Structure 1
Amino acid sequence: MEFLVDNQASTKRFKHFYASDLRGIGQLVTQAAISTTRIAEGVHQSVWRTMGVPGGSTPDRTRGLTGFVYKNIYKITELLGNGIDKVLENKQPWLESFDEGKKETLERISVLSALNGVMGDRLVEQDNQFAIPMSIYYQQEPLSLDDLHAGQIPQATSKVLLMIHGLCMNDRLWQGEHDGVEVDHGLQLSASLGYTPVYLRYNTGLHTSQNGRQLSDLLEQLVKNWPTPIEELSIVAHSMGGLVARSAVYYGQEQAMTWPDTLKNLVFLGTPHHGAPLERIGNKLGIILSKTPYTAPFNLLSNLRSSGITDLRYGNVIDQDWQGVDRFHNKPDGRIGVPLPQGIECFAIAATTATQRSVLAERLIGDGLVPLNSALGYHSVDEHHLMFAEPSQKIFYEMNHNQLLSDPQVTQQLELWLANNVKSEDTK
């Protein structure tokens, strides 16, 4: 009996694992081994340096016999890793045959989403299969935007609502619970206001502007190929998703695309328009680690942070915000001001775990990740200050960052804003 229980538990664990994952796992193991060796060599050289022994080709590399040993470790690791990768690449179609009929589990996509958030840029650089491609989902199935038809979306309406998740998250997390009751802002707005909700899934480890450009291209396809002419597109974006949405609108308008003309409403939920303190703390920690020879090698761990994460230091939106600079350096806010798009109704929801507003809540604590001032677009520099109208702002108290995804109060506020905007459009 005990064997059967253990066997069932093992089977349950493996349902989240695909046979075709072996190649991606192999690549990650190889990179982890190389990174660990680099840290070890860095510590080794730090010790030598205190004894007056010079370094190798770079200050963190060893030389002589020690350097020779480390070089061979790197070569052997890469040789073995590349060899295994080549074998698995040839076997990939065979491995994929074992995965046929497997349904994607929430646990699996949650792990992959977290992995992409932390190192998604590296996954793309290494052509790792775990890199999440940007896709738009309807009823938990990806849409083929090149071949959209009524069969794919039998209940397609002329009003489309796009839901965009935040860092390390995914489209499934919009389906949550509050006090034991299932909550999905998209489905509720579909029932009350007639929207067809679709959900974005993307690699949150890429630069915000890279995702913004991709999203703009996808929305152009969506609007062009939607089964019925789209009269209204609305976007509800959580956290980083709001920066991606702003970036998409910026590039869509810059390139004179047609989809921004259909965008009527843009709602931000806890979006760090001016960055998040946690990333700034992470940046300062990396700088502190790099100050002493013994801790400097461990700064490699700090520098594993993805491009998406470092974009959250100040709230980067466009390419110029990050191009040409070392994203790990401690530099002042050098963003180019990107105002809220004209002709589009923009709304901001902020949350705080506090019971009332305070300087601490506004500038630091906020919802646990994003301060109130950042979520509401407040900034002391006019170029960066986002002009949300007073009726278009809402603060929820005793609520944290992730609760914005599934709290009925948020749903009600969305209904109020979007319903009123529909009425105002009808009276024009």
Structure 2
Amino acid sequence: MRTDEVAGVARLAGTALRGGTRRIAELHQGIADRAFAAVGPVAQPVKVVHDAVAALSYAGVRTGLGAGAWAAGTAAALRADGTDLDAVRAGRVAQAILNGAHGDLLRSEAPSLALDMTVRVAGRAVPVERDALRAAFPDGTDRIAVFVHGLTETEASWCYGAGRRGEPGSTFGARLRADLGLTPVYLRYNTGLHISDNGRALDDLLAALVDAWPVDVADVVLIGHSMGGLVARSALHRAGGGTEEAHGWTRLVRDTVTLGTPHLGAPLERAVHRLAGRLARLPETRPLARLLSLRSVGIKDLRRGTLVEGDWTDRDLDALTPGPHTSVPLHDGARHFVVLATLSRNPSGRLADLLGDLLVPPRSACGDTGDDDRLAFPPDHVHRLGGLNHFDLLNHPRVYERIRAWLVDRPEGPRPAQP
């Protein structure tokens, strides 16, 4: 690891240890308060002594753990070999999970560990500059397929399951290149940030990418898995897709494909939110609620599929009362497709609706609100696959065959001019 990465891990460890000790102290205090209250006023002198001793003890533990983390980090930094954390697979996976779980905290407390949105080739970040892109994509075509991964994932996630099927080099991107001449462009980003913040970053990156691409771009396809589909929608919305003031790259987007994207939100995040609210009602369990509230803002955005900055600015994201939610329509001027999976082999049955793909139910994946705000996916643009889970959608032959069929069967017409 690099010295700054080691220092970042040490700061994060110190923060976690101090915070964990504080939560334990709060839990202890909540239980003690109830016990002393049950005894009555006669226990007040004992309570005063107890509270003072407990506060002093926990303060000492917090200080000791924080100092220990700092000392360990300082010693480790002296032995740092300068290798990037993401130079090895385990480091990339750990960083992606850490960013997904606490990406907003990383940005403020340990920025060396926080990811920026970057184009990746063979695990390495590629500057969005013409010479760098020409070197990284020597055979780049005028058609680009941009792959946006989901929560806690990386660009390597698009290889999911390939080894088990005996096709380690096979991905959607490689197949689209061979079959349709689309150049795959894989991104990596901090999935713990607000979806709208990542949408802004994607807007900026695609504008720069189209401008610096080695050849004039005629066609862009956006493919997003899970949260990635929401980030793509947020970027198109922010860029004003379908309006006269739209950013130039949006006019090149002919097709979007979302794979298991929670357009209407994720039930698991809603369940955690409700659990935290119930735990917060009692002093004994309030520290546990505070621990749950530490999950990243990116995860909290999945509660309702929040795409717009105004829906979270100056709001308490842990409040039980729902705030405003902006309904964002699909980008006008492109075709939009959905592939959703169900654990049940019958994707149209009741069990499929109940279990979904393990994380996202079918109605959320296809944006079916049941009212006028439903997303306007034509019925033949929604494909249901039974017997698969959420992560199978990253790289499964049945998913690819449907994507390929949609992209092959596209209406002929003049391609948009380069902006």
Tell me the residue number matched to 1:408.
Answer: 397
Quote the Cα distance in structure 1 between the aligned partners of 2:343 and 2:224: 20
Tell me the residue number matched to 2:198.
Answer: 211
Q: How does 1:106-125 map to 2 (within 5 A)?
A: 106-125=89-108
Deviations 1:19-51 (A, max 9, x none): 664212211220111111111220232134222
Maintained 8 Å contact 1:27/1:128: no
Tell me the residue number matched to 1:4.
Answer: none
Change (3 A) 1:329 1:360: farther
Tell me the residue number matched to 1:230.
Answer: 217
Quote the Cα distance in structure 1 between the aligned partners of 2:194 and 2:173: 26
Maintained 8 Å contact 1:139/1:198: no
Q: CA deviation at 1:100?
A: 4.8
* TM-score, normalised with respect to structure 2: 0.87
| Match of residue 328, structure 1, among 309, 314, 318 | 318
Quote the Cα distance in structure 2 between the aligned partners of 1:308 and 1:284: 17
* TM-score, normalised with respect to structure 1: 0.85
Maintained 8 Å contact 1:20/1:95: no
Change (3 A) 1:170 1:427: closer
Quote the Cα distance in structure 1 between the aligned partners of 2:79 and 2:311: 42
| Match of residue 129, structure 1, among 112, 134, 147 | 112
Change (3 A) 1:289 1:390: same
Quote the Cα distance in structure 2 between the aligned partners of 1:140 and 1:259: 25
Maintained 8 Å contact 1:106/1:172: no
Amino acid at match of 1:170: T
Tell me the residue number matched to 1:195.
Answer: 182
Maintained 8 Å contact 2:12/2:110: no
Maintained 8 Å contact 1:20/1:99: no
Q: Does 1:31 align with 2:15?
A: yes
Change (3 A) 1:161 1:95: farther
Quote the Cα distance in structure 2 between the aligned partners of 1:249 and 1:218: 12
| Match of residue 367, structure 2, among 346, 369, 377 | 377
Quote the Cα distance in structure 2 between the aligned partners of 1:379 and 1:272: 12
Maintained 8 Å contact 2:11/2:110: no
Quote the Cα distance in structure 2 between the aligned partners of 1:381 and 1:69: 57
Runs of 5+ in structure 1 lacking a partner?
A: 1-16, 55-61
Quote the Cα distance in structure 1 between the aligned partners of 2:82 and 2:112: 14
Q: How does 1:14-413 map to 2 (within 5 A)?
A: 21-50=5-34, 51-52=36-37, 64=52, 66-71=54-59, 73-74=61-62, 98-100=81-83, 104-147=87-130, 148-176=132-160, 177=162, 179-182=165-168, 183-253=170-240, 256-332=246-322, 334-356=324-346, 357-362=348-353, 364-383=354-373, 385-413=374-402
Q: SS state of the match for residue 220, structure 2?
A: strand
CA RMSD of aligned residues (A): 2.7
Quote the Cα distance in structure 2 between the aligned partners of 1:134 and 1:274: 24
Q: Percent identity?
A: 32
Change (3 A) 1:248 1:101: closer
Amino acid at match of 2:93: S
Deviations 1:92-135 (A, max 9, x none): 6x766x23599722222112111111111111121342212211
Runs of 5+ in structure 2 lacking a partner?
A: 42-49
Q: CA deviation at 1:64?
A: 4.4
Deviation larger for 201-210 or 301-310: 301-310
Quote the Cα distance in structure 2 between the aligned partners of 1:369 and 1:102: 29
Change (3 A) 1:420 1:278: same
Quote the Cα distance in structure 1 between the aligned partners of 2:229 and 2:318: 23
Change (3 A) 1:269 1:73: same
Change (3 A) 1:145 1:68: same
Deviation larger for 252-261 or 284-293: 252-261
Quote the Cα distance in structure 1 between the aligned partners of 2:257 and 2:320: 31
Change (3 A) 1:275 1:193: same
Quote the Cα distance in structure 1 between the aligned partners of 2:224 and 2:208: 20
Deviations 1:241-298 (A, max 9, x none): 0000000111112773211111111100000000111111111111222222222112
What is the number of equivalent residue pairs in this alignment?
397
Maintained 8 Å contact 1:213/1:251: yes
